[in-house]
Structures are given as structure tokens and as C-alpha cells.
Amino acid sequence: MKINKADLHRLIKNKIEKAGLTEEHATIVSDILTFADARGIHSHGAMRVEYYAERIAKGGITNRPNFSFKQTAPSCGIFEGDNGSGFVAAKLAMDQAIKMAKATGVAVVGVRNMSHSGALAYFVEMAAQQDLVALSVCQSDPMVVPFGGSEAYFGTNPIAFAAPSHDERMITFDMATTVQAWGKILHARSKKETIPASWAVDEAGNPTTDSTKVTALLPIAGPKGYGLMMMVDILAGTLLGLPFGKHVSSMYHDLSQGRELGQLHLVINPAFFTDLATFKENISTMLDELKEIKPSEGFKEVNFPGERGRMREKNYEAEGIELVDDIYDYLVSDVIHFDRYDHKNKFAE
């Protein structure tokens, strides 16, 4: 079915607030989940609400966290998340990073002891909207084999980047360091379809096309993706004194416990390195030149990172956001959660 953005936001906020978060925090969570659905990133949108509601209701997310920020140097700081909502902690930490970068030219802010924070694109766009460049990385629980390995060690460990241009366009790059998301494999399972051998491995660590035999995912571009996910884990985990690699807490193992995850925001003020107007004009020129490139066979045009997501958002504004009926039925129900995520394996099974 289809639903307009305002109604979706209201339904998500209502469910998260009933689960136990304050109205202020529930609003922020709903802002970011709705942002994801509006961009077509449905794996990080409304489909996640029931999981968050269950974890909140069971105490695995601190309802009224004792957030704190310590500026450890003119351009560095640590945001303590107290295992509160990762959405809220990441947003407030980015607010601090933006403030510091405007004053000193660059800011590096680590977020410690947080829960899952959703689509990273939201946070880097916060900075780009204020004429800053941003990079954000975060940990996730182990479900990816290292290159050449047969057992999961790192998480999907996403990376996001955003930069402003001279016009309304913005570069936004948000990616996991795996070839494909687990949700795509679940979708293949539900349809009894095979998957490409480059997506995942079986119990023996061998590439598999059988979606029912998948036990772990594969990194993008082999050793390159492996290196990137290790880099993210160090920046968002080890650097902040948090659990790393296979020691990162499971998303579903015990929903009554905090996850103690980490995230790192790096924000750069172009005005401290070059003329800001020229920088933005050059970004716009780059985008124009990319659009002028003749597309290869099978493509209508060359898109720049983030462009298709904004195109989806415009379409959804006119036609409504796509939402699975079961998810809508849950959102409008009086049920907080159906107790179906706690003590499941890394793939929620």
C-alpha cells in the first residue's frame, strides 16, 4: 500500500513513544526512519520499527539516557550514549561536530555506547546542508567472512559521505561494505529463488547460490571490502575503547541488554581549505559533467551518488511511500511488539 510521509511519521512516532521513549526522542527516531523510507531505503525504515519497539520495551535501549559530550581537544570529542537510542545519540553528536567544524575547520566526534542508528546518510546530510563535508562510519554485529575466511568476524560496517554543491543538489554516498544486504537474501528465500555466488557463503565458507544455506555474507570486492570493514571497525570501535570484530554485540541475542556500539563522525569545513563558493561551484560542475557523459548500454543516464534516492523521494511525495501491508497493519495496531526478535540468531531466525 501507499502512505504519505506525514502519516508514516506520525504512526512510527506513536509506536516508538508507546514502547517507552520520550516524545522528543521518538520524534527524532521517526524523522530518520521516515527519511529512509522516503529515499527508498526500506531496509532501514518502517520495517525496523517493531524491532526497536521490542528492544525499547525490554530495556535494551535506555528510555531516558544520561547523554553527555566531552570535548577532548579543539576539534575532537566523545559523545556518551548511555545505550540510549542510536538515532538520537548520532544526531546530537553530529550537532556537536558541525558546531566544532564551523569554529576550527575540522571535527572528529566519536559516539560510545549507543544502539543501532539506522541510515547514516541522514547524519552526513545534516552537515552538507550547512556547507560542510562529512564522513560517518559505524559498527555492526559480525555476519561477514573476512577475505579468504569461512567464519563471520566483522559486521556490514557502513560508510556514508556527503558534500554540498552550488545548487540544490548534494552528493550523498551511503553503503555497506558487503556485496549485498541480508534483506535481499531473505527476499530470495521467501520466493525460493537462487542468489548470485558473489553474495554469500555456506557453513563451509564456500560461495553459495542457495539462499537457504547462507550463513555469512561476503565483503565487496574481496580484499578491498575486507580492508574497508576492518577500517570502519577500528574507527568506530577500537578507537573508542569499545568491543571490536566478533566481540560486537548481536542485534538480536538479548534485547534486554544495551549494545554498546560505536560510531564516528568526521566533519570538514571547506572554507578552511579553499574558497567555499569555488568549492561548491566545482562540485556542481562535476555533477554537470557526469550528467553529460554518454550512458553505456542498458543505462538511460549517469547518476551521481544520492540522486536516485532524491528522485524516489519526489515520486513518493506525489504518489505516497510504498509500505508492505503487514507493516502498516502493525503500525496502526495497539500492539507494541509481537515478541519475535529476542534471542534470535544474527539473521533474526
**Residues known to be catalytic:** 116
What dihedral angle (degrees, nearest 10) is formed by the CA atoms of 161, 106, 232, 178?
Answer: 10
Query: Is residue 248 helix, strand or coil?
Result: coil
Q: 178 with 217: CB under 8 angstroms?
A: yes
Phi-psi region of 72 (alpha: psi -120 to 50; beta: other; left: phi over 0): alpha
Maximal CA-CA distance, the chain: 55
Residue 17: CB atoms within 10 A of its CB come to: 19
Quickly list H helices, 222-341.
223-236, 276-292, 307-319, 325-332
Rounded to 5°, angle at Cα 37 from 33 and 43: 80
Q: Which helix (H) or strand (E) element contains residue 264? A: strand 261-268
- Torsion from C-alpha of 196, 158, 129, 171, nearest 10 degrees: -40
Which residue's entry shows cell 539473521?
347
What's the CA gap between 336 and 27, in Å, rounded? 17
